[in-house]
Amino acid sequence: MALSFSAQADSPDRIHDWCGAFHVHSIVSDGSGSYSEILEAAIGADLDFLVLTDHGSLKYRRMGCQGWHQNLLVIVGQEAGRRLGHCLVIGTDGLVDDPEGNLESTMRLVQERGGVGILAHPEGSGKILFGIHDNRWKQRSVFPFVGMEIWSFMYDWIHDLHWFNLPYFYLYPERALKGPRSGVLALWDEMTSVRPIVGIAGLDAHAQRLVGLTAFPYEFLFRTLRTHVLCCPPTGNSADDVAAVLDSIRLGHVYFSNDLYWSPKGFAFSASVGGKDYLQGDVITDSGKIRLSVSLPDDAAIRVLRDGELWTCMEGRSWEDETSQHGVYRVEVSRESQPWIFSNPIYFRNIPFI
């Protein structure tokens, strides 16, 4: 069922853009930072929320670390999975992982326990020479995951990595960010033709330390690929605010972007029909016309896609149009030829999803 602005908050003006970092590892698993170091980096990067996802551990949840710390909301989840693929799990009380590494079983457990399961780096092909493992999604059966990591910092960074350009990309890692892989975008478009799938950006942050140097420090990473959640404003109550953010993620009220050079705050992709306004992630069932609109904080190149194909494109700060064509609509924005903002879809259908 579609969720209108008024169902999520009092009015469109009360929709709050929470910017956050997903997929972060600490010394509890294979990261280099302590909880206090990561917390300091996240606060220094002006994040609104942080999702910690150590492998097979909810230690920081047990320690009571989930919740508000100054102006930062910490959400403690886990990364589960093995050779068949990995998933980020948030919103469950206990650890969730199939001992045989069966991703489908893991995701069903997440669903049963009321959590949110997100496929991690679905095209995470490795490079053994650099110690990066093949963590692609290999169990391609259909199972009840909520979302998928569309843009992964680490796997975007290694895509064109070779020995000859390693020093350059080590010194200027942001210059290796070319955007979500075309195969992941195509897979997302294919799956969203069947049911809603929420897209996020993930960092896979480890901040590895080598000979006194840190590769991809946490604070630097936290300023790059961010997932923005459109939700009601914070209340200051940790449990309520965590629940509200997770609910908005489930609904797909999300966009993701590279925030390093330009802030995307002010970006909106919405639809209206019959006096109601709809957010990204909403499903609209109507036989008439809808009005789609895009707004940006600054001029950029806007591409609107329908069912994975380019539908229209333009340069500017805003766009709107009416259509009676059913389909799955999403937006990609670039600036100075750099990938910048990716929306979640708005689903316009004549019948609801089954």
Domains annotated on the chain, with CATH: 11-262 (3.20.20.140)
Q: For 112-137, how does the pLDDT look when each residue is reduced to its tens digit (9 = 90+)?
A: 999 999 999 988 776 666 666 777 78
**The pLDDT of residue 208:** 73
**Is 10 exposed, middle or buried (CB count within 10 Å of its CB: 0-12, 13-18, 19+)?**
exposed
**Is 233 exposed, middle or buried (CB count within 10 Å of its CB: 0-12, 13-18, 19+)?**
middle
**The pLDDT of residue 128:** 65
In terms of Cα–Cα distance, which of 110, 73, 93 is closest to 240?
73
**The pLDDT of residue 129:** 63
**The pLDDT of residue 209:** 67
H helical segments located in 162-237: 166-171, 182-192, 218-222
**The pLDDT of residue 6:** 33
Question: Please, which residues bridge with residue 328 across strands?
Answer: 347
pTM here is 0.93
Coil vs helix vs strand at 161: coil
Q: To 5 degrees, how large is the angle CA 229–CA 261–CA 253?
A: 10
In terms of Cα–Cα distance, which of 346, 344, 351 is closest to 286?
351
Q: For 2-18, how does the pLDDT look when each residue is reduced to its tens digit (9 = 90+)?
A: 333 333 333 455 799 99
d(CA 238, CA 230): 17
Per cent of the chain over pLDDT 90 is: 69
d(CA 137, CA 83): 9
Q: To 5 degrees, how large is the angle CA 343–CA 345–CA 346?
A: 125
Query: Both tokens of residue 14?
Result: 């009360």
Q: Which amino acid is at 212?
A: G
Coil vs helix vs strand at 244: helix
Residues 229/254, Cβ–Cβ less than 8 Å: yes
Provide the CA 288 distance to its chain's centre, in angstroms. 31
d(CA 346, CA 283): 6
**The pLDDT of residue 271:** 97
**The pLDDT of residue 98:** 81
d(CA 270, CA 297): 15
**The pLDDT of residue 210:** 64
* Residues in the chain where the model's pLDDT stays below 50: 1-11
**The pLDDT of residue 307:** 97
Coil vs helix vs strand at 344: coil
In terms of Cα–Cα distance, which of 125, 128, 83, 89 is closest to 106?
89
**The pLDDT of residue 212:** 64
Question: Tokens 């316009």 identify what position?
Answer: 348
d(CA 320, CA 309): 18
**The pLDDT of residue 10:** 39
**The pLDDT of residue 3:** 36
Backbone angles phi, psi at 49, to 5 degrees: -145, 160
d(CA 148, CA 117): 8
